[in-house]
Amino acid sequence: MNVTVENLAPCKKLLRVELDVAAVDEAFKATTKEFQKEAALPGFRPGKAPEQLVAKKYDADITAEVKRKLIGDSYRKAVEEKKLDVLGYPDIEEIQFGRGQVLQFAATIETSPEFQLPEYKGLTVKRDGKTVTDDDVERAINLLRDQRVSYEPVAREAQNGDMAVVNYTGTCDGKPFTELAPTATGLTEQKNFWVEMRTDSFIPGFSEQLLGAKAGDKRTVTVDFPADFVAKELGGRKGVYEVEVVEVKEKILPPLDDTFAKSFEAESLEKLREGVRRDLENELKFSTSRDTRTQIMRELMGRVNFELPESAVARETRNVVYDLVNENAKRGVSREIIEKEKDSIYAAAASNAKDRVKLSFLIQKIAEQEDIKVAQEEILQRVQTMAAMYQIPAEKFVKDLQKRNGFVEIYDQLAHEKVMQFLENNAKVETAPAVADVNPG
């Protein structure tokens, strides 16, 4: 077999393969014998028909099978011989094939990029040295208290932090909002609507104009709808609300005691604080590791440049576009807006995809260099964890993964995690003094 390789472009090659006549004839002979074993021709018992008659009767089928097998086998041998790391499937063309002829074909293939790994051990990362303080724990405890808050009616005027129960009707230029925005029925009129007395509650500027009001009071409230208001027809317009205060309710926080702690399944207030501290420390550890890995990836990718395979970038771009569109849809962005912004979405996706593809090749090469592998037990453990998380029976989850070749994806994820952990363990950490959080209260 004769094999030549021609570089067409970065990560793209033309593989030319030639197989001599003897090998082609041998393949025809062997395949004809295989057909002979199963052939059923008139006048002969199954498998006993003469080879010449079988070759004539099944000529088209034998030729197709020989062609398929010879091209497949010789392509795989050529790739192994030239030690090519092929991505995806080849584009086979320029085929010359027939009985008593030399087999020739050309295969256009895409290969993994060739590059020298930069120094990846001892990458410098900065950490702020932050730790979980008693103040952090108390802030978290107070957030838990907010989850158990109650509201009691009071006869006094509304103050910051109170809840005002109101009836209101809204207009713009003297007309109900629904004439401008048909879907804005809730903004046009409400009964017994609860408004918290804080700056960012409901519509900007609404709650501040109710401070000092008490049950039975009536007030005219004017608001400026933000330009990006959810009801886009009202964006940038002025609104006028006629508001009647039905009731003022005072926010009552539960006392910090063991009864409060037990409502969160803790034995005591002390145990609750211990659990909160532990959760905060785990959260800090996770965010610190995530920030560290982000710095490592940025530093690693900045140390080397190489051409990327077009198909890999295109495939990853499609994945990123799909994720971005889904994310926007979940946030309530309309299909019309998504369609209008499709060019900018695609541009952002293409840039993101290039970084992800580049990083994946770096990670893969580091894994090979350091002999970092994923054991079968690790894959099975991840599969069981995922099945439990999605509440899918393990057997069904495994079958679904097999259908879409999902085990390869899980292997890649685990390998990525192990390489990143390796890089983090070998990073050079510079700790800076922690910056105190500015918390207004």
- What pLDDT digit, counting tens, does each position of 191-200 carry? 999 999 998 8
| Sheet arrangement for strand 86-96 | 2-9, 12-19, 103-111, 86-96
Give the domains, in start order, of the chain with CATH numbers. 2-111 (3.30.70.1050), 150-252 (3.10.50.40), 267-431 (1.10.3120.10)
Residue with tokens 């990525």, as numbered in its chain: 416
Mean pLDDT for all residues in the chain: 92
Please give the residue that has the higher pLDDT: either 344 or 108: 108
What's the pLDDT at 277?
97
What's the pLDDT at 437?
44
Closest-CA residue to 276 (of 286, 287, 265): 265
Report residue 335 as tokens. Answer: 């299909």
Least confident of 183-197, 257-271, 283-297, 311-325: 311-325
Please give the residue that has the higher pLDDT: either 436 or 77: 77
d(CA 12, CA 365) in angstroms, rounded, equals 19
pLDDT band at residue 441, thresholds of 50, 70 and 90?
A: very low
pLDDT band at residue 433, thresholds of 50, 70 and 90?
A: low
Residue with tokens 């990327």, as numbered in its chain: 308
Q: What are phi and psi of 308, to 5 degrees?
A: -110, 145
For residue 406, give the H/E element and its range.
Answer: helix 406-425
Cα angle 416, 420, 426; round to 5 = 150
d(CA 94, CA 105) in angstroms, rounded, equals 5
pLDDT over threshold 70, residue 436: no
Residue with tokens 């495994």, as numbered in its chain: 398
Least confident of 233-237, 246-250, 287-291, 338-342: 338-342
What's the pLDDT at 439?
40
* Burial profile 405-425: b = 16 or more Cβ within 10 angstroms, e = fewer: eebeebbeebbbebbbebbbe
What's the pLDDT at 379?
94
Reported as a single tens digit per residue, the pLDDT across 338-356 is 888 888 888 888 889 999 9
d(CA 408, CA 423) in angstroms, rounded, equals 22
pLDDT over threshold 90, residue 329: no
d(CA 92, CA 82) in angstroms, rounded, equals 17
pLDDT over threshold 90, residue 97: yes
Range 129-154 average pLDDT: 95
Report residue 215 as tokens. Answer: 């049950």
Range 168-175 average pLDDT: 94
Residue 286 φ/ψ region, left for φ over 0, alpha for ψ in the -120 to 50 degree band, beta for the rest: alpha
For residue 163, give the H/E element and its range.
Answer: strand 163-172
Which amino acid is located at 377 in the chain? E
pLDDT over threshold 60, residue 18: yes
Closest-CA residue to 179 (of 133, 126, 233, 134): 233
Q: Which residues contact 281 (CB under 8 A, 6 or more apart)?
A: 132
Report residue 135 as tokens. Answer: 């103040």
d(CA 391, CA 385) in angstroms, rounded, equals 10
Residue with tokens 């099975």, as numbered in its chain: 380
pLDDT band at residue 440, thresholds of 50, 70 and 90?
A: very low
Asked if 263 and 253 count as a contact pair (C-beta separation under 8 A), the reply is no
Sequence-ordered alpha helix ranges (H) in 256-390: 258-262, 269-302, 310-330, 335-340, 342-370, 376-389
Beta bridge mates, 92:
107
Q: What are phi and psi of 12, to 5 degrees?
A: -135, 130
pLDDT over threshold 70, residue 130: yes
Asked if 194 and 175 count as a contact pair (C-beta separation under 8 A), the reply is no
**3-class SS of residue 1:** coil
Q: Where are the beta strands (DSSP E) in 10-75?
A: 12-19
Range 280-298 average pLDDT: 95
Q: Which residues contact 243 (CB under 8 A, 6 or more apart)?
A: 166, 167, 168, 210, 218, 219, 220, 221
What's the pLDDT at 431?
85
Asked if 272 and 266 count as a contact pair (C-beta separation under 8 A), the reply is yes
Q: Which residues contact 9 (CB under 8 A, 6 or more apart)?
A: none
Report residue 104 as tokens. Answer: 């020739």
Which amino acid is located at 241 in the chain? Y
Q: pTM of this prediction?
A: 0.71
Range 262-268 average pLDDT: 95
d(CA 36, CA 30) in angstroms, rounded, equals 10
First to last CA, the chain: 78
pLDDT over threshold 90, residue 385: yes
